[in-house]
Structure formats: C-alpha cells, structure tokens
Amino acid sequence: MSARERVAGTVANYVDERTGAAKWLKKNLKKVFPDHWSFMLGEVVLYSFIILLLSGTFLTFWFDPSMREVEYEGSYEPLEGLKMSAAYASTLHISFDVRGGLLMRQIHHWAALIFMAAMVAHLLRVFFTGAFRKPREMNWVIGVGLLTLGIVEGFLGYSLPDDLLSGTGIRIAEAIIQAVPVVGSYLAYFVFGGAFPGEVFIPRIYTVHVLLIPGIFLALITAHLMLVWYQKHTQYPGPGRTEKNVVGYPLLPVYMAKAGGFFFIVFGVTAFLGAVASINPVWLFGPYTPGQISAGSQPDWYMGWLDGLVRMAPPLETHAFGHTISWNILIPGLIIPGIIFTGMALYPFIESWMTGDKREHHLLDRPRNNPNRTALGAMSLTFMLVALINGGNDLIATHFDLSINQIMWGTRIGIIVLPPLVFVITKRICLSLQRADRDLVLHGRETGRLVMLPHGEFIEVHEPLTPERAYLLTQHEQLPALAVPETDEMGVANPQGARGKLRARLSRASQEQIPKPSVDEIRELESGHH
C-alpha cells in the first residue's frame, strides 16, 4: 500500500465512522448518467449560476446600494462632478477604479444572459422530448418556478446600477404595479416607500437580489437536482435502452471529469465574453433622472418579449364610476404572462389528462412521434418570438429601414395569425417525418444505385436498414385515442358530460399518428417480399 493510499484510507475511515457515508457512496460513485449533448443544457444553467454567485459576491464588496446623492469624483472624466446616487457612483468605481472590476461586472452580466438562455434551451429540450412526464412533473413545476424567478432576478440585477436605462425599466415596472386594479397605487407606494422613485428602492431590491431570490434559487436547484439523482436521468430511445434501465457512463471518473471540465469551459467562455464583448456600459447612459431618457431603450433579451407585448397592445383604457382600468398595461403586462406561465406549469398534468396516460416514462420521445405536443411547443415559441421581435422594433426599424408602424402592425397581426399557422405546419411536418420513417423501415434506404432488370425495367436498389436503426424507428408507442365514455354501469349515457367529450376530442387530436409498420408488415418484409 502506497503512502497516498494509506492517507486516503485514513480519511475515508474517519468520515465513514462518523457518517456511515460509505454505504451510500459505494452505490452512488458508480451512478450511471446517460450521455447526450442536449443533457448539457441544464448543466450550463447550473454552472452559470455558480459563476453568478462568485462574480456577484465580488461585486458586492464595492457596490454601495444606496440612493444617497453624491458628487462623482472618480476617474471617468465625462461624469466628473455630476450629482448621482451612491449606487451609480459605486458602479462607476467598480468599472474604472477597481482592477478587474469591469471584467467581473461584464462576466456577471454575460453569465446572467447565458443562465437565462440555457434555462430556456433546457426547458425546450425537456418539453419537446416529453421528459416532464410522470414521474417528473414536480421537477417541471420547479423548473418553471426557476425560470420565473430568473426573469425577476435578472431584471432586479440590471436595475441596481441606477443608470438612466435601468431607471427607465424601473419606471415601467412601477407603472405595471400601479395599473393593478383597486390596490395598484397602494402597492406602488409600499414598494417605493412613497412617490416614484423615492430613496429606498435600490437598497430594497438589493436585499432581494443578493439574498432572497438566490436563497430560493439554491433551495429549488437543490431539490431539482436531488430529484434528478433519485429518479435517475431520462434517456433517448435506442437499442438496449428500455424503460427499465439506464445506459451511460459512471459518475466516477468519466462523468465527473466531463461535467467538472465542462464547468471550467463554461466559465472560460463567459470570461472570454466578459473580456472582449462590452455589455451594459452604464457610464454612457448617465445617472437616472425621470425627466430624461436614452433613445433605443432595450431591456435584456429575456424581458424583451414582455416589452414587445406592451408595445403592441391596443390603446385601451376603461374609465367608469371614477375609476380607471388600463387594459393596455394589464393585458400584456400581467394577464398574458400569467396565462403563459400558469399554462406552462400545468402542462404535464393537462397532457396526462388528455392522453389518459398515467404510467411512468423514462425513455424520451422523438419530437416527431408526438406531433401534437411538438406543434404546441412550436406554436408557443412562435408567439414569444413575434413578441420578442416587436420588443426590438426600434432597432429592427433602423437596421432594416422599416417604419415602426409597419413592424408594429406586422407583429400585431402576426401574433394572432402565425402561432396557429405554425401549429398546423409543425403537425404536418411531424406526420410527414413519421411517414418517412415508416417508408425507411419498410423499403430501406435509397442507395442511388440504378439497376436494369433483365426485362428492361430500371429500379433503384434499396438497402435494408441496420437492425439498430430499424428498431429506433419503430420502438415508440402509438396509444389509441380515448373514446367518449358511453354509458356507465348504471346506464347513464356519457357520465362525464361535456368534459368527457372535450377530453375525447383532445385525445383524438393528440393521438393523430401515421401508423408505424406493424408486426405483419415486418414479417412480410422479412419473408423476402422485396
């Protein structure tokens, strides 16, 4: 036994005698993780969260979350002698007078953008592959919670420097709060400690940004990962992969090295972006004052869709009985986002109700094999993209020489017309892909080789698929649609009433499939029909 092994043994013995960890570890050090590039998306979220904690902690050492008025005396000359809040002045101090401060600010901001982008990409992967199905519905709900919190956290973060751009964002948030019927103006006065902007807002959101939300994040991410660990990761279908097993690499050493290495890669890329790509140059905007604004005001991308919705809202307000309701703010600012996020959180339950499928699923769907879900996802994505495009309408107008008017009307019509259109097209594409899969299995791969038969006919030689590929294309289930329950045991016709009918209709739509090759067809094929 080498000296190193002896030391390791002593340490392991010490820990195990006090915690009994060896029993758990012996099993879990060999835990199997399936390997696929799309499983890295969630990892990117986790790693950028760690980067955010590290870089954010660094920033707090100098940032002064106060709206006390100070005169700027730092080394950035254009703002010399200007009155501004201590928050803005300390942000300038970090940017110009702390070595590596600007780098850390930019890493922090880039990491936030990557955090949100990876979260959305991870969500799409989970959605389109059906990874949210039983038993993982709870983890999906936690994920939706994380996404919602992430948007809020990001918004609060870029509001902290108290520059002209971020102050304008806060003004808009204040208007949304104020628009809430009955209690809006009270809520706004409570949040801002009086009239907007007041002097308490920055310190308040600072506590929420660095303590409250990161704390909730940490708890939710822990629960999210524990569930992944406990339920074991899903896997893509393929030869040897079933609902009962999990195929992949053991945690130690391969997965550990890959995942650990990947953390450093993500951090390295973020640092590279922070080094070369300027982001949120707050010194150019100047300190916040409610009487001024910078042209081309843009929120960060994950807020852009919300801004786009607000921009395209029709100018509707109701004045009645001495009260005002601002539909032009409520609908795009609260009602539509509320519907989107609630619908998203409930989707796993809606789908399982629609299909009547209450079984556990560990094998992922190929998106084409669930045309309805894939089309629904594409439809929602289209809605968000049209909104996002309108959120950048001023920049698009100047870059592509269009008028704001054209883009606004284009997106107003587009957001109603395009999503259903995309739904139909996506569903058709999925069914076509299913048909192509079926043809591949039954007729083999086109080789491009033409052969003349003795009687003069030309045929193209088709090569049969490998058994692995043929299995992959036929392993999925095709559930029959639910029927309207006709009569119950007491003889009552359709006991569930309209609900049962609706469910049967949705189920029919969601089970629309191209029948995959049947056992008989395959047998016929194998008996040398071709």
Partner 1 sequence: MSKELTPIADPGLPEHQHRKTDVDPRAAKKAERQVAILFSLSALGTVLFVYAYVGIDQDLLIFLPILGNTNAHQLFLGLGLAMALFFIGMGAVHWAKTLMPDHEVVDYRKEQRSTDEDRAAFVEAAKEGAAAAGIGRRPVIKRTLGLALGLVGISPILLLRDLGPLPEDELEKTNWAAGVRLVTDPGDRPIKPSDLEVGGVAQVQPAFPAGKKRKLEDIAKDSVLLIRVRPEEFNLDPERLSWTHEGIIAFSKICSHMGCAVALYEQTTKHLLCPCHQSTFDVTRAAKVIFGPAARPLPQLQIGVDNEGYLIAKAPFNEAVGPSFWERDSA
Residues 434-473 that bind partner 1 (CB under 8 A): 441, 467-468, 470-471
Answer for which of 38, 297, 352, 494 binds partner 1 (CB under 8 A) is 297
Tokens encoding 359? 């079984």
Distance CA 98, CA 209 (A): 22
Which residue in 287, 283, 286, 280 sits closest to 85, CA to CA?
287
Instruction: For residue 451, give Cα distances in angstroms to 225, 445, 463.
Output: 57, 15, 13
Residue from 313, 386, 388, 389 binding partner 1 (CB under 8 A)? 313
Q: Residue from 189, 236, 341, 353 that binds partner 1 (CB under 8 A)? A: 189
CB 71 within 8 A of CB 207: no
Interacting residue with partner 1 among 10, 13, 207, 289 (CB under 8 A): 289
Shortest Cβ distance from residue 488 to partner 1 (Å)?
28
Judged by CB under 8 A, the number of residues near partner 1 is 120
What type of residue is 12?
Answer: A
CA–CA dist 501, 381 (Å, integer):
29
Site for partner 1 in 507-526 (CB under 8 A): 516-519, 521-522
Is residue 501 within the footprint of partner 1 (CB under 8 A)? no
Q: How far is the CB of 500 from partner 1 (least distance, A)?
A: 26
- Pair of tokens at residue 143: 């994920």
Question: Which of 50, 172, 216, 433: binder of partner 1 (CB under 8 A)?
Answer: 172
Rounded Cα–Cα distance for residues 147 and 141 (Å):
10
Residues between 385 and 444 with contacts to partner 1, criterion CB under 8 A: 393-394, 404-405, 408, 441
* Nearer residue to partner 1 within complex by CB, 150 or 184: 184
Which region among 123-131, 320-328, 334-342, 415-423 touches partner 1 (by CB under 8 A)?
320-328
Alpha-carbon span 131 to 362, nearest angstrom: 7
Site string for partner 1, 326-365 (x = CB under 8 A): x-xx--x---------------------------x-x---
Where in 46-75 is the site for partner 1 (CB under 8 A)?
Answer: 75
For the beta carbon of residue 269, count every other beta carbon within 10 angstroms.
14
Which residues, including other chains, have CB under 8 Å from residue 359's CB and lie 6 or more apart? 134
- From the list 28-36, 124-132, 341-349, 486-494, the region that binds partner 1 by CB under 8 A is 28-36
Question: Minimum Å distance from CB 107 to partner 1?
Answer: 8
Q: Does position 281 bind partner 1 by CB under 8 A?
A: no
Q: Is 266 in the site for partner 1 (CB under 8 A)?
A: yes
Q: How near is the Cβ of 61 to partner 1 at its closest, in Å?
A: 16
38 near partner 1, judged by CB under 8 A? no
* 450's tokens: 């033409």
Residues 6+ apart with CB under 8 A from 391: 298, 299, 303, 304, 305, 306, 307, 308, 309, 311
Tell me the DSSP string of 295-319.
Answer: SS----HHHHHHHHHHHHS---EEE
Shortest Å, Cβ 421 to partner 1: 25
Report 207-246 residues binding partner 1 (CB under 8 A).
231-232, 239-240, 242-246
- 26 is a site residue for partner 1 (CB under 8 A): no
Under the criterion CB under 8 A, does residue 316 sit at the interface with partner 1?
yes
Residue identified by tokens 């070595």 is 99
The two tokens of residue 229 are: 């660990």
Place of tokens 């190929």: 366
Max CA separation in the chain (angstroms): 96
30 touching partner 1, by CB under 8 A:
yes
